[in-house]
Structure 1
C-alpha cells in the first residue's frame, strides 16, 4: 500500500470516528469535553498501540521486579528520534514509582534489566550510567525473543492486536 493510500485510509477512518462522536454527543457536549490533539498541543507523545502487551511481556521476563512502569516512564520522555538524555536519575526513579534512599538504586536495576532484555541501549555520560538512551523497537525485540521460544497466549494476543491495527512485528 502506498503512503498516499495509507493517508487516505487514515483520513477516512478519522472521518468515521468524528461522525460517530458527533452522533453520540451533541456539539455543546463535545465542546465542553477536555480532549487533546497531540499534533497541536504540547505535552503529548506517540506510544505503541500495543503498549499494554509490551508491558505484560516485560513484566513476565522480570519476575518479582516489574519493569513496565520504568519502561512507560521512558516512553513519556522520548521524542520521535527514540533518544533520551537523562540528567536527573531521581526524577526518573520517582516517575517510575520508586521513593526513599534506594529509589535511584532500584531504578538503575530495572534499567539494567530493560537493557539486558534489549528494550533500551545506553551510554554513560556526565550523569553516570544511563545518561543517554535509545529506545529500541519493542515489537522487534519481542518478535526476536519468540524466534527461540514457543509462542504463547501473550504472543498470540499481541499478534492479533497488530493485525487489527495494521502493524507488524518488524
Structure 2
C-alpha cells in the first residue's frame, strides 16, 4: 500500500483596483434604457445604419425595454433585407434596440436613440455612482496550482457604511420603544 500526500497551498492576496462606474443611457423621454460597462464610442459601429453593436459575450450590459415578438423586414438598397426583432422604450415606445434573431447575443443600438443624460434628472448617474473611479479592494484566494477559488470585490468604506446604517437603525428602534413607553406611562397617569 502506497501513501500519497496531497499538498494544498492556500494563498491570500489583496490588491487595490480602480473601479470605473458603469455608463447609464436614457431614452429621449428620460426613461433609463441601458447600463453598459463602457462608453458607446468604444462599441463597434455598423456602417449600414450607424447603429452601435453590443456583443453580450464581450460587454457587460443590462437593457430596460419591451420586447416586440413581431419580426420586421427592412429592404436595404443594394444590400439585401434586414430582419429585426425590435426592443422599445418602456415609457414612450421609441425603438431603441434590435436583433437579427430573437436569441442572438448581438444587439444593435439604434443611432441617436439613447442619451447620456435624462431629461428630468441630468447627471443623476454622477450623483448616484460618483463621477470618479473608486478605489476598491480585491481579495483573491488561491488554492493549489494557482487556481482562483473565489474573488471578492468590496469598496473601502462599505463596512463603515453598514455599521453606520446598523447604528442608525438601532437608534431609531430604541427611540420608538422609548416613545411607546412614555405614551403608556402618560395614559396610565
When the two structures are superposed, what TM-score results if normalisation uses the length of structure 1? 0.26
Point out the structure with the larger strand share.
Answer: 2
Specify the structure having the higher radius of gyration (Cα): 2
Point out the structure with the larger helix share.
Answer: 1
Higher RCO, 1 vs 2 (CA within 8 Å, ≥6 residues apart): 2
